[in-house]
Amino acid sequence: MSFDPLQAWRLDEEPYYAPQAEELAAFEAAHALRLPVLLKGPTGCGKTRFVEHMAWRLNKPLVTVACHDDLSASDLVGRWLLDAQGTRWQDGPLTQAARYGALCYLDEVVEARADTTVVLHPLTDARRILPLTSCNELLHAHPDFQLVVSYNPGYQGMHKTLKPSTRQRFVGLEFSYPGAGQEAAIVAHEGLVDASLARQLVAVAEQTRRLKEHGLTEGASTRMLIHAASLTRHGLSPRVACLQAITCPLSDDPDLATALAAAVDASFAH
Amino acid sequence: MSFDPLQAWRLDEEPYYAPQAEELAAFEAAHALRLPVLLKGPTGCGKTRFVEHMAWRLNKPLVTVACHDDLSASDLVGRWLLDAQGTRWQDGPLTQAARYGALCYLDEVVEARADTTVVLHPLTDARRILPLTSCNELLHAHPDFQLVVSYNPGYQGMHKTLKPSTRQRFVGLEFSYPGAGQEAAIVAHEGLVDASLARQLVAVAEQTRRLKEHGLTEGASTRMLIHAASLTRHGLSPRVACLQAITCPLSDDPDLATALAAAVDASFAH
Amino acid sequence: MSFDPLQAWRLDEEPYYAPQAEELAAFEAAHALRLPVLLKGPTGCGKTRFVEHMAWRLNKPLVTVACHDDLSASDLVGRWLLDAQGTRWQDGPLTQAARYGALCYLDEVVEARADTTVVLHPLTDARRILPLTSCNELLHAHPDFQLVVSYNPGYQGMHKTLKPSTRQRFVGLEFSYPGAGQEAAIVAHEGLVDASLARQLVAVAEQTRRLKEHGLTEGASTRMLIHAASLTRHGLSPRVACLQAITCPLSDDPDLATALAAAVDASFAH
Amino acid sequence: MSFDPLQAWRLDEEPYYAPQAEELAAFEAAHALRLPVLLKGPTGCGKTRFVEHMAWRLNKPLVTVACHDDLSASDLVGRWLLDAQGTRWQDGPLTQAARYGALCYLDEVVEARADTTVVLHPLTDARRILPLTSCNELLHAHPDFQLVVSYNPGYQGMHKTLKPSTRQRFVGLEFSYPGAGQEAAIVAHEGLVDASLARQLVAVAEQTRRLKEHGLTEGASTRMLIHAASLTRHGLSPRVACLQAITCPLSDDPDLATALAAAVDASFAH
Amino acid sequence: MSFDPLQAWRLDEEPYYAPQAEELAAFEAAHALRLPVLLKGPTGCGKTRFVEHMAWRLNKPLVTVACHDDLSASDLVGRWLLDAQGTRWQDGPLTQAARYGALCYLDEVVEARADTTVVLHPLTDARRILPLTSCNELLHAHPDFQLVVSYNPGYQGMHKTLKPSTRQRFVGLEFSYPGAGQEAAIVAHEGLVDASLARQLVAVAEQTRRLKEHGLTEGASTRMLIHAASLTRHGLSPRVACLQAITCPLSDDPDLATALAAAVDASFAH
Amino acid sequence: MSFDPLQAWRLDEEPYYAPQAEELAAFEAAHALRLPVLLKGPTGCGKTRFVEHMAWRLNKPLVTVACHDDLSASDLVGRWLLDAQGTRWQDGPLTQAARYGALCYLDEVVEARADTTVVLHPLTDARRILPLTSCNELLHAHPDFQLVVSYNPGYQGMHKTLKPSTRQRFVGLEFSYPGAGQEAAIVAHEGLVDASLARQLVAVAEQTRRLKEHGLTEGASTRMLIHAASLTRHGLSPRVACLQAITCPLSDDPDLATALAAAVDASFAH
Per-residue DSSP letters for F42-106? Answer: -TTSSHHHHHHHHHHHHT--EEEEE--TT--HHHHHEEEEEETTEEEEEE-HHHHHHHHT-EEEE
**Cβ of residue F23 closer than 8 Å to a chain E Cβ:** no
**Cβ of residue A219 closer than 8 Å to a chain D Cβ:** no
Chain F residues in contact with E32 (beta carbon < 8 A): 234
Q: In this complex, how many residue pairs, one in chain D and one in chain F, have their CB atoms less than 8 Å apart?
A: 117
Q: State yes or no: chains C and E have 3 or more CB pairs below 8 A.
A: yes
- pLDDT above 50 for D153: yes
**Cβ of residue C249 closer than 8 Å to a chain E Cβ:** no
Neighbouring residues of A196: CB distance < 8 A, sequence distance ≥ 6:
none
> How many angstroms separate the CA atoms of B1 and B42, rounded?
41
> How many angstroms separate the CA atoms of B29 and C241, rounded?
10
**pLDDT digits over D66-99, tens only?**
887 777 788 888 887 665 556 678 898 999 999 9
Measure D65 CA to nearest chain F CA, in Å.
9
Measure E164 CA to nearest chain C CA, in Å.
25
Determine the longest span between alpha carbons in chain B, in angstroms.
67
Mean pLDDT of C204-209: 94
Neighbouring residues of A23: CB distance < 8 A, sequence distance ≥ 6:
A50, A173, A175
> How many angstroms separate the CA atoms of B143 and E173, rounded?
62
Q: What is the pLDDT of residue F143?
A: 97
Q: Above 0.90 for ipTM, yes or no?
A: no
Q: Is residue B131 very low, low, confident or very high in pLDDT (cuts 50, 70, 90)?
A: confident
**pLDDT digits over A179-238, tens only?**
999 999 999 999 999 999 999 999 999 999 999 878 888 899 999 999 999 999 999 999
In this complex, the residue of C115, C138, C170 whose CB is nearest that of residue E71 is C115
**Cβ of residue B256 closer than 8 Å to a chain A Cβ:** no
- pLDDT above 50 for B120: yes
Radius of gyration of chain B (CA): 21
Measure B159 CA to nearest chain A CA, in Å.
12
Chain B residues in contact with C249 (beta carbon < 8 A): 38, 167-168, 170-172
Residue of chain E nearest F235, judged by CA positions = E29
Mean pLDDT of F117-141: 86
Q: Which CATH architecture has domain E7-174?
A: 3-Layer(aba) Sandwich (3.40)
Residue of chain D nearest F133, judged by CA positions = D92
**Cα separations in angstroms, E49 against A127, B58, E14:** 65, 63, 10
Mean pLDDT of F156-165: 67
Which tops the pLDDT comparison, E248 or B87? Answer: E248
Residue of chain D nearest A87, judged by CA positions = D87
- pLDDT above 70 for D159: no
Residue of chain A nearest D170, judged by CA positions = A249
Residue of chain D nearest A71, judged by CA positions = D115
> How many angstroms separate the CA atoms of E63 and E82, rounded?
24
- pLDDT above 80 for A172: yes
- pLDDT above 80 for F155: no
Chain A residues in contact with D118 (beta carbon < 8 A): 66-68, 108, 111
**What mean pLDDT, rounded, does chain F reach?**
88
> How many angstroms separate the CA atoms of E88 and E81, rounded?
5
C166, E155 in Cβ contact below 8 A?
Answer: no
Closest by CA to F244, choosing from F264, F219, F262, F221, is: F264
List residues bridging with B103 in a β-sheet: B62, B146
Q: Which of F133, F151, F166, F212 to mutate to test the interface with D (most CBs of D within 10 A)?
A: F133
Q: Which stretches of C113-253 are DSSP H helices?
A: 114-118, 153-156, 164-167, 180-191, 195-210, 222-232, 238-242, 248-250
Q: What is the pLDDT of residue D158?
A: 45
Q: State yes or no: chains B and D have 3 or more CB pairs below 8 A.
A: no
Asked if the Cβ–Cβ distance from A138 to B9 is below 8 Å, we say yes
A44, A178 in Cβ contact below 8 A?
Answer: no
> How many angstroms separate the CA atoms of D17 and D40, rounded?
17
Residues 177-216 of E with CB under 8 A from C: none
Q: Is residue A85 very low, low, confident or very high in pLDDT (cuts 50, 70, 90)?
A: low
Closest by CA to A171, choosing from A21, A31, A64, is: A31
Q: What is the pLDDT of residue A139?
A: 92
Write phi, then psi, for E113 (nearest 5 degrees): -70, 160
Q: What is the pLDDT of residue E158?
A: 45
For β-strands F103-107 and D129-132, DSSP reports them as unpaired
Mean pLDDT of A91-111: 92
**Cβ of residue A24 closer than 8 Å to a chain B Cβ:** no
E138, E131 in Cβ contact below 8 A?
Answer: yes
Ranges B160-174, C236-250, D84-98: which has the least confidence: D84-98
In this complex, the residue of F33, F40, F89 whose CB is nearest that of residue D230 is F33
> How many angstroms separate the CA atoms of F227 and F221, rounded?
10
- pLDDT above 90 for D269: no
Subunit partners of chain B (3 or more CB pairs within 8 A): A, C
Which tops the pLDDT comparison, D148 or F153? Answer: D148
Which tops the pLDDT comparison, C86 or D194? Answer: D194
- pLDDT above 60 for C158: no
**Cβ of residue C258 closer than 8 Å to a chain E Cβ:** no
Judged by DSSP in three states, C130 sits in: strand
> How many angstroms separate the CA atoms of F161 and F264, rounded?
34
Chain D residues in contact with A223 (beta carbon < 8 A): 125, 168-169
DSSP structural state of residue B244: I
Which tops the pLDDT comparison, A209 or D214? Answer: A209
Q: What is the pLDDT of residue B4?
A: 80
DSSP structural state of residue B174: E
Subunit partners of chain A (3 or more CB pairs within 8 A): B, D
Please report, for chain E, how many H helices and E strands are present, in that order: 13, 9
Radius of gyration of chain C (CA): 21
> How many angstroms separate the CA atoms of E101 and E42, rounded?
29
Asked if the Cβ–Cβ distance from F43 to E168 is below 8 Å, we say yes
Chain E residues in contact with C134 (beta carbon < 8 A): 81, 90
Helix, strand, coil % over all residues of chain B, rounded to 5: 50, 15, 35
Amino acid at E142: H
> How many angstroms separate the CA atoms of F78 and C23, rounded?
59
Q: What is the pLDDT of residue A75?
A: 83
**Cβ of residue F121 closer than 8 Å to a chain D Cβ:** yes
**What mean pLDDT, rounded, does chain C reach?**
88
> How many angstroms separate the CA atoms of D200 and B244, rounded?
69
**Cβ of residue F221 closer than 8 Å to a chain E Cβ:** yes
Chain D residues in contact with A78 (beta carbon < 8 A): none
**Cβ of residue E50 closer than 8 Å to a chain C Cβ:** no
Judged by DSSP in three states, A147 sits in: strand
Q: State yes or no: chains F and A have 3 or more CB pairs below 8 A.
A: no
**Cβ of residue A158 closer than 8 Å to a chain D Cβ:** no
**What mean pLDDT, rounded, does chain D reach?**
88
Q: What is the pLDDT of residue B218?
A: 87
Closest by CA to A29, choosing from F93, B96, E95, B241, is: B241
Neighbouring residues of C10: CB distance < 8 A, sequence distance ≥ 6:
C4, C61, C62
Burial class (CB in 10 A: 0-12, 13-18, 19+), A87: middle
C238 CB-side CA count, 13 A: 22
pLDDT along chain E (270 residues), means of 10: 78 88 93 96 88 96 85 82 67 94 92 79 89 81 97 65 86 92 95 96 94 85 95 94 94 90 84
Asked if the Cβ–Cβ distance from D174 to A248 is below 8 Å, we say yes
Residues 25-44 of C with CB under 8 A from E: 25-26, 28-30, 32-33, 35, 38, 40
